[in-house]
Structure 1
Amino acid sequence: MSWLEMLAVFAAGIAAGGINAVVGSGTLITFPVLLAVGLPPVTANVSNTVGLVPGSLSGVIGYRRELSGQRARLLRYGSASLLGAALGAVLLLNLPEDAFATIVPVLIIAALVLVVLQPRLSAWVRERQRDKEATPAHGGPVLLAAIFATGIYGGYFGAAQGVLLVGLLGVFVQDELQRLNAVKNVLALLVNALAAAVFIAVAEIDWRVVALIAAGSIIGGQIGARVGRRLSPNVLRAVIVVVGTVAVIRLVFG
């Protein structure tokens, strides 16, 4: 990579770290940048996953106050996320690369739809949370199954898994949204970390990309945790949609 390309990857890491801490969907920033600098899709995906782990940890640390008193919840949901992530990572490594190139545009489009619909989803979450009887303490088996499925998605690709998680938690669990967002950050970290461990053991990784994304995402995670709530959600959403659309076009049309 040229110095300009390395700078672009580093900047994408900062943006992704911040977006992941606040919303989720940072992969929609980094993944198309990695494609643009010439990485094959699977190598770009696994390198991106490994690189974003430090940024995910940074975001968790930034939300540590909101995690107070949620240990039992984290253990319950974290187990489902880890099992799903393991299955998703195995699927990524065992399905042919052609399958990944075919499936990922569909996943990105689905993720973009979720990002666009997030305001309505959030409104539905708030409406549901007004009805305390509709939201049991731990969400029940349906929520666990949904978190497991989201873990599979996160282990395989992961763009917008944060949007999925915070939406699910908000619908099924009675608590403040900021506390649920903190839980979302932990679950996304667990998924990314387990998938990264599998990829490090058996996959081809571009360690230059990992280092650049890791450094950027650590910075971005702290920025996102501290000031991300002040950013206009519409601007953030628009950036994600534009970058994700570029990624789909590049994957489909080469």
Structure 2
Amino acid sequence: MLSGFSSHWHYLWLVAASLIAGVMNAMAGGGSFLSFPAMLSMGILPVQANATNTVALWPGQLTSLAALKSDLRKDLLPVAALASILGGLTGAEVLLRTRQVTFLHLIPWLLLMGAVIFGISGPVSRWLRARSAEPHAKRTPRYFPLFCALFPVCFYIGYFGAGGGFLIMTVLALFGVDEMHALNAMKIVTACLSNLVAIITFIVRGAVLWHYCLISMVFAALGGYIGARYARRMNPDVLRRIVVLTGCVISAYFFWRQY
């Protein structure tokens, strides 16, 4: 009876975490800080939990992409697509070849890194908006250096991913992409494609536990719908602090559990 209650509790936690993750992703991002640990709580091995979580949260990116397709920099799409495909595929393959115990030890560091990246995204986003407010001549960056800068970011997205979208925006800004809407649109298409390649790899290799994935996917989508409706009413700085605090607390928990 006690084990049955524990099992129900874990399912309730997966549902709640997926719902809140969908809200967080729609409002500010960082939903993986909750949905990934919830997958682990179901007793799923770490590598499979990460693969399943990636698949569950991916559909929410498509709606954002559809809304921003008019802002895409078509001159950058070929290099972004190449970096996304190769980086996402390589990251996914390396994840699947990582020993479970090794990835388990990496989890607190990856969560902490994601929280730090997300934490500094606020000031840097303000800097990007300030740059986009100034008149700049549109120019196309050199493809090879841009590919070399985007590839490791796309690799990270295929491997784990928390905070990867912000890293894409930072790289593009450093290469002279100044307009904020273009940065956001390119961030979404690059992250979406990197995750898609990783997802195909996970599915082909049988790393996705569909029972848990579908539960999380449904409630994350519901949370995304709720979050999108109320996003404009929330203070983005407050949301960012909540996400960063959540990531740090969960990271500290995994550090405590391991060490």
Is 1:60 equivalent to 2:65 in the alignment? yes
Q: Which has the larger radius of gyration?
A: 2
Q: 1:214 to 1:138 in 2, by over 3 A?
A: farther
1:223 is displaced (CA, Å) by 4.9
Q: 1:128-207 residue pairs with structure 2 within 5 A?
A: 128-129=131-132, 130=134, 132=136, 136-138=139-141, 140-207=143-210
Q: Is the 8 A contact 1:25 1:162 kept in 2?
A: no
Q: Deviations over 1:90-130 (max 9, x none)?
A: 11111211221222322221111111111221233245444
Cα shift at 1:17: 3.6
Counterpart selection for 2:51 from 34, 46, 51: 46
Choose from 215, 220, 224 the match for 1:217. Answer: 220
- Compute the displacement of 1:42 (Å): 1.6
- Secondary structure of 2:208's partner? coil
For 1:23 and 1:73, how far apart are their aligned partners in 2? 25
CA RMSD of aligned residues (A): 2.7
TM-score by length of 2: 0.83
2:68 maps to a residue whose letter is Y
Deviation at 1:22, TM superposition (A): 5.4
User: 88-97 or 140-149, which moves further after superposition?
Assistant: 140-149
The corresponding residue for 2:79 is 76
> For residues 132-181 of structure 1, what are the alpha-carbon distances to aligned partners after superposition, in whole Å with 9 as ceiling and x for unaligned?
36x74246533322211111101111111112122222332434312321
Unaligned runs of 5+ residues in structure 1 are none
What letter corresponds to residue 34 of structure 1 in structure 2? Answer: M
Q: State the Cα distance separating 1:227 from its structure 2 match.
A: 4.8
Deviations 1:71-101 (A, max 9, x none): 3422321211111011101111112112212
| One-letter amino acid of the structure 1 residue matched with residue 77 of structure 2 | L
- Describe the SS at the equivalent of 1:63: helix
The answer to which of 50-59 and 8-17 deviates more is 8-17
16, 24, 30: which one aligns with 2:35 = 30
| Equivalent residue pairs, number | 251
2:116 is equivalent to residue 113 of structure 1: yes
2:52 maps to a residue whose letter is S
Q: Quick check: 49-58 or 71-80, which moved more?
A: 71-80
Cα deviation, residue 65, structure 1: 4.4
Indicate the larger mover: 19-28 or 221-230. 221-230
User: How far does residue 21 in structure 1 lie from its aligned partner after superposition?
Assistant: 4.8
Matched, 1:96 2:94: no
Q: How far apart in 2 are the matches of 1:162 and 1:23?
A: 11
1:42-81 deviation line (CA, Å, top 9, x unaligned): 22101101111212212222434434xx334223212111
CA distance in 2, matches of 1:63, 1:21: 14
TM-score (norm 1): 0.84
Unpaired runs of at least 5, structure 2 = 1-5
Displacement of 1:199 in angstroms is 0.9
Question: Residue type of the partner of 1:46?
Answer: A
Name the SS for the 2:76 alignment partner.
helix
Percent identity over paired residues? 34
CA distance in 1, matches of 2:22, 2:140: 30
Change (3 A) 1:126 1:64: closer
Q: Is the 8 A contact 1:59 1:221 kept in 2?
A: no
